[in-house]
Each structure stands twice: as C-alpha cells, then as structure tokens.
C-alpha cells in the first residue's frame, strides 16, 4: 500500500525557457536522524504534486534498500538516486570524521552535480535543490548549475539562531566566558541561556565539543546562507512552538514546516503513512506485545538515539536507578561489537533488570511513544526525539549528551515545561538517585508531574493543528511549494 498523493496538484512553469514540472532534488547527510525528517518532507512534497529525487549516500541507500523500508513510496513522483561520499562500502565514523567530511564534500559535490545534469539530459530537469545540515557545498552546486536552493534544517530554529549569532558578533564572548558555569547570555529572540544550555560544539571545555568537528561546517553553512540574496530555511518545527526563534534573524526567511512525522502518528489524515521509510538498523519484533501487557501510563521508555550509547559508568547508574524505582521500562541499547561488551559489563544486574523491564537494540520510536502504556520518556533530547515526544504528548526526563541536545533540554524544562532535566555530578555523570528523582517526579502524579503531562498534551494538540489544512505548517508548506512552482 502507498500513502496518498493528490494527482490534481500538478504544476508547470517556465524554467530556462521551457515549460517544465517542478522537480526538487533533496540531498541529505547519511545518518538516521537526518534521513528521517528529510524523507518525511519529501513525502509531503510528493503529496502536493512535486516530483522529488531523494539523494543520500550510496551506503545509506543500500541499507534502506536491504531493509525494504522504501518499498511503499509511490513510483514516478519519488525517485532515489544516491551520491557518493567516497566510502560506498561504509565508514567507521569513530576514526577520522574530519577526513570523512572532506571526502563527502569532494565526492558528494561532483556526484550531486552529475545527478542534476543527468536529470536534465533525461528530460526531467531539477528546478530546486534542498540540502540538509553538513551539506553546505550542495548550495554551491546549485549555483554552478543555476538553480535555486534552500536549506532543510532538521534541528530547532533556536539552534540555527545560536550559531548565526555566534558567527555574527558573539563568538568571542561565547568562547571566553562560557567556561564560567554562572555565565549566561541573552541572544535576540531567544531565552536566557547558561553555559550548560549552549550547543556543545561551541564550548571549548566540553569533551565532545572540544573536537569541534562540526563547527567549521556550521560556519560554512552560515556563510553560505549569508551569500544568498534571499536565503530560505525550511525548519522541522512549527510556529506555535518557536514563535520568536523563527523571526530572530532578519535576513533569513524561515518556514516552520514540522513536525516532520508520519501522518498516522500526527494528524491521522493518511493512515498509510505510518513510518519514515528509512530504517538503517534492525529492530526487535516483540516489544509491542510486551507493552500490551502493561498498565496505561506505567512504562518508562529510555533511548539515547541512533548515534551512541552513554558511557559504561552512566549505564550502570541508570541501571541502579531503574532497579530502585521498580517500574516497568523499555530500554534501547544500540548493538555493535563494542556495545555487546558494554552490555555484559553493566549490567552485572541484567537478571534484576529483566525481571522488571525489557532491553532491545532498536524499535519504532513513534509506535512506542503512541502506546497507551507509556508514562515517561528518558531521552537524550536529539531534536527528532524531542519533537516526537511533544507530538505524542509524552513528558520527558531530559538527559542531554552533546550538540543541540543541551539547548533542547533547556527548552523542554523551562520554555515548553513538558519535562525535567537531570543534574550531573562533577564528573559529568547522572547518579542513580538523580535518575530515580527525575523519573518519579514525572511519573508519581505530584503537582509538577501533572503540569508536565498537561503541557505535553497541549503541545500534542498544537502540533496536530499546525499540520492540518489551514494550520501554520500547512500554510508555510503551501507557500514554499508555490515559490518552487513559480521557479523562484
């Protein structure tokens, strides 16, 4: 079965003196958290009659093909044509990410350009290029072939604002003063931010941030946008969630077009649109049956995303906290050779854990978040997870690790008030007592827990309203499509 498309939405316009149909190429960084929202946006374009060529790395595309996760995409309007990142058989990102990024630029820019040329030669010219985070070179390719481009930003607008202001007058202050834990900064249109609230790549003192591997691409991205006459940014958020952040940069045109979540889990308008369609990992099959045996709002769901697990020390503390609480839990521990060893170590308490909960390597997160047994989400606060928790009305124990997660946790606790953020000790570890305190605060039905659940449900309704016909994200999507159809 395929999701719905509107066959009456076909548009034509003059492009390079020819009457053509709008055709977007959407290029995305080859990671699960980047591919998911990009694919969902591609589906939204297709539903509105826009032809899309979806392009990620050859290796990521191969994984998607092997898992047959894209079989339900409509043929004709949606094509998958991968680019080469220089590592067509995969790359171990723990080795040299700087080298990977340089090869991605070198090989990716040439192959994306070739894809665009081939489409034109085959009578279906690309009329607009969309690119994701870490692919600013794609905008250069668009300029070379004389087509417009726009950024598909898969983090909150607040994060792009922070990077923008960092590179426009605040860089020295952030770099020098942010070592002081009592320091804070008020950026235009944003809440007051302390050191612990900033994206970790901006903090010289941060262990992972000190690698600063992502900072040069972010700077290049801002420079790329600044060089555009009318830079356009499509953001996986909605106007009601970030009203000020979407207007904080005068020179940029933001379109809140989220949440980029399959319709079956959001507005229900298209029940067949029930997955992103880009599983890069094998998932378990029996966790839903296990959840079905649990009482409503009783289960603690723990997941730290697709990139990494916490340290062994941290996993031990989480394990102790879960055993002390005694509540049923579903814990996602991503498996590779290293993590198999880690799992053995933690968990000298595996038997105790398995008496009360379930550990699986991967799952369909939206299925879990929508399950009536779910009471709380212990999350790393990657943006996809944060937005999914808001869209499903699930309160959060915010457990950020690095990059944008720190800022997302700040917003969840202080701005959207749909969760509580854990405190770390001097070694950066969240101790078992703190894990227990935060989960019980959300789950035990006190005044604060009730407020979090109430706010989570409020954001769930606002997210649904945003994507419905006439909602803010629906209007913004239509406005962007109209510009694409006019050949902006």
Residues 359 and 404 in one domain: yes
CATH of the domain at 44: 3.40.50.2000
Residues 122 and 258 in one domain: yes
What pLDDT is stored for residue 213 in this prediction? 65
Q: Taking Cα atoms as reference points, which of 147, 160, 137 lies closest to residue 25?
A: 147
**Of the listed ranges 270-279, 375-384, 385-394, the one predicted with least confidence:** 270-279
What pLDDT is stored for residue 69 in this prediction? 62
Cβ atoms of 236 and 154 closer than 8 Å:
yes
pLDDT mean over 359-364: 90
What per-residue string of b and e applies to 288-321 under the rule 16 or more CB within 10 Å gives b? eebbeebeeebbbbbbbbbeebbeeebbbbbbbb
- 95-132 pLDDT, tens digit per residue, is 788 899 999 999 999 999 999 999 999 999 999 999 99
What pLDDT is stored for residue 173 in this prediction? 85
- 191-219 pLDDT, tens digit per residue, is 999 989 999 888 766 544 444 567 888 99
The residue that leads in pLDDT, 341 or 187, is: 187
Residue 353: pLDDT above 60? Answer: yes
Please state whether 187 falls in left (phi above 0), alpha (psi between -120 and 50) or beta.
beta
Residues 337 and 300 in one domain: yes
Structural domain includes residue 173 = no
What pLDDT is stored for residue 365 in this prediction? 94
Residues 112 and 245 in one domain: yes
Residue 13: pLDDT above 50? Answer: no
Q: What is the pTM of this model?
A: 0.91
How many Cβ atoms sit within 10 Å of the Cβ of residue 120? 16
pLDDT mean over 172-200: 86
Q: Which residue has tokens 């901006």?
A: 202
How many Cβ atoms sit within 10 Å of the Cβ of residue 424? 15
Residues 304 and 338 in one domain: yes
Residues 481 and 392 in one domain: no
Residue 404: pLDDT above 90? Answer: yes
Residue 19: pLDDT above 70? Answer: no
Residues 339 and 479 in one domain: no
Annotation says 34 is catalytic: yes
What pLDDT is stored for residue 74 in this prediction? 62
Residues 382 and 480 in one domain: no
Residue 93: pLDDT above 90? Answer: no
Beta partners for residue 398, in sequence order: 379, 421
Structural domain includes residue 421 = yes
Residue 200 CB burial class (10 angstroms; 0-12, 13-18, ≥19):
buried
Structural domain includes residue 87 = yes
Cβ atoms of 28 and 34 closer than 8 Å:
yes
Residue 85 CB burial class (10 angstroms; 0-12, 13-18, ≥19):
buried
What pLDDT is stored for residue 209 in this prediction? 41
- 439-453 pLDDT, tens digit per residue, is 999 998 789 999 999
- 296-338 pLDDT, tens digit per residue, is 999 999 999 877 788 999 999 999 999 999 999 999 998 765 5
| Domain that includes residue 16, residue range | 7-159+201-276+468-485
**Of the listed ranges 73-77, 132-136, 172-176, 340-344, the one predicted with least confidence:** 340-344
Residue 359: pLDDT above 70? Answer: yes
Catalytic choice (23, 34, 371, 380):
34
Residues 318 and 429 in one domain: yes
Residue 395: pLDDT above 90? Answer: yes
Residues 293 and 379 in one domain: yes
What pLDDT is stored for residue 65 in this prediction? 87
Residues 118 and 256 in one domain: yes
């Amino acid at each position: 079965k395929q999701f719905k498309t509107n066959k009456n939405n076909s548009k034509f316009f003059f492009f390079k003196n020819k009457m053509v149909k709008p055709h977007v190429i959407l290029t995305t960084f080859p990671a699960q958290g980047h591919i998911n929202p990009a694919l969902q946006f591609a589906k939204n374009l297709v539903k509105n009659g826009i032809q899309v060529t979806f392009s990620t790395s050859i290796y990521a595309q191969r994984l998607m093909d092997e898992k047959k996760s894209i079989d339900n995409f409509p043929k004709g309007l949606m094509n998958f044509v991968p680019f080469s990142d220089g590592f067509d058989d995969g790359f171990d990102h723990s080795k040299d990410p700087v080298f990977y990024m340089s090869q991605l630029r070198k090989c990716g820019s040439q192959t994306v350009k070739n894809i665009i040329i081939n489409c034109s030669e085959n009578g279906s010219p690309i009329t607009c290029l969309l690119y994701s985070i870490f692919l600013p070179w794609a905008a250069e390719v668009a300029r070379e072939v004389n087509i417009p481009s726009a950024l598909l930003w898969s983090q909150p607008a607040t994060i792009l604002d922070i990077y923008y202001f960092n590179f426009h007058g605040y860089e020295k202050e952030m770099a020098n003063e942010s070592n002081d834990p009592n320091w804070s900064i008020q950026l235009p249109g944003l809440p007051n931010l302390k050191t612990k609230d900033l994206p970790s790549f901006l903090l010289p003192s941060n262990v992972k941030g000190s690698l600063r591997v992502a900072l040069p691409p972010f700077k290049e991205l801002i420079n790329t946008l600044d060089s555009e006459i009318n830079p356009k940014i499509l953001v996986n958020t909605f106007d009601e969630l970030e009203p000020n952040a979407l207007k904080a940069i005068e020179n940029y045109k933001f379109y809140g077009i989220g949440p980029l979540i399959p319709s079956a889990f959001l507005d229900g308008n298209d029940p067949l649109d029930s997955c992103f369609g880009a599983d890069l990992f094998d998932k378990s099959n029996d966790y839903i049956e296990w959840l079905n045996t649990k009482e409503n709002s009783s289960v603690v769901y723990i997941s730290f995303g697709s990139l990494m697990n916490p340290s062994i020390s941290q996993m031990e503390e989480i394990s102790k906290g879960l055993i002390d609480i005694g509540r049923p839990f579903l814990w996602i521990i991503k498996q590779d050779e290293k993590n198999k060893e880690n799992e053995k170590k933690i968990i000298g308490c595996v038997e105790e854990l398995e008496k009360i909960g379930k550990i699986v390597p991967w799952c369909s997160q939206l299925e879990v978040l929508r399950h009536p047994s779910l009471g709380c989400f212990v999350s790393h606060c990657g943006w996809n997870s944060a937005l999914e928790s808001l869209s499903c009305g699930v309160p959060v124990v915010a457990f950020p690790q690095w990059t944008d997660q720190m800022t997302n946790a700040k917003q969840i606790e202080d701005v959207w008030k749909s969760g509580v953020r854990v405190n770390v000790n001097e070694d950066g570890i969240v101790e078992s007592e703190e894990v227990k305190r935060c989960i019980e605060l959300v789950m035990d039905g006190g005044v604060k827990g009730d407020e979090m659940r109430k706010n989570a449900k409020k954001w769930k309704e606002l997210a649904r309203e945003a994507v419905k016909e006439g909602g803010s994200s629906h209007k913004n999507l239509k406005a962007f499509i109209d510009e694409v159809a006019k050949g902006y």
